[in-house]
Amino acid sequence: MNMTPDSTGGDSAPIPFKLAEAKFGIGDVVRHRVFPFRGVIFDVDAEFANTEEWWQAIPEEVRPSKDQPFYHLLAENDDSAYVAYVSQQNLVLDDEEEPVRHPAVHQLFGEFRDGRYILRPTIRN
């Protein structure tokens, strides 16, 4: 929690800050803005929650801000299926309305309807 010292040396109330609102939700099928892959979102972090090493490995000229939602995707491209961690600024909704072929999709999701997946009831919190 962000705390600021008050004039007596103690901690004062938390400094309020605004988290960016997530544009996408679990089950949404999205596409990367730059790289040729798409995927289904299976988790959302309100802000960056990966390692500093991972973040530093991104070239500085394209490194996203940490203070935005980041999404965990069951991702695919023409060659493979994998898990990706992507910033909100680099995602757009996929307009193909085609299912994602990632082999783990059916472990987490059931029906594919209207371009998005419905989370299996046994997976929900």
Question: Per-domain residue ranges for the chain?
Answer: 21-119
Rounded Cα gap, residues 30 and 92, in angstroms: 6
Read off the pLDDT of residues 8-25 as tens digits, 9 standing for 90 and up.
444 545 545 555 799 999
Rounded Cα gap, residues 93 and 6, in angstroms: 45
The strand ranges marked E within 3-115 are: 3-5, 11-14, 29-32, 38-45, 70-76, 81-87, 91-93, 109-113
Nearest Cα neighbor of 70 from 87, 53, 55 is 87
Residue type, 9: G
Read off the pLDDT of residues 98-122 as tens digits, 9 standing for 90 and up.
999 999 999 999 999 988 999 998 8
* Domain 21-119, CATH number (from 2.30.30.390, 3.40.50.970, 1.20.120.1200, 3.40.50.300): 2.30.30.390
- pTM recorded for the entire structure: 0.81
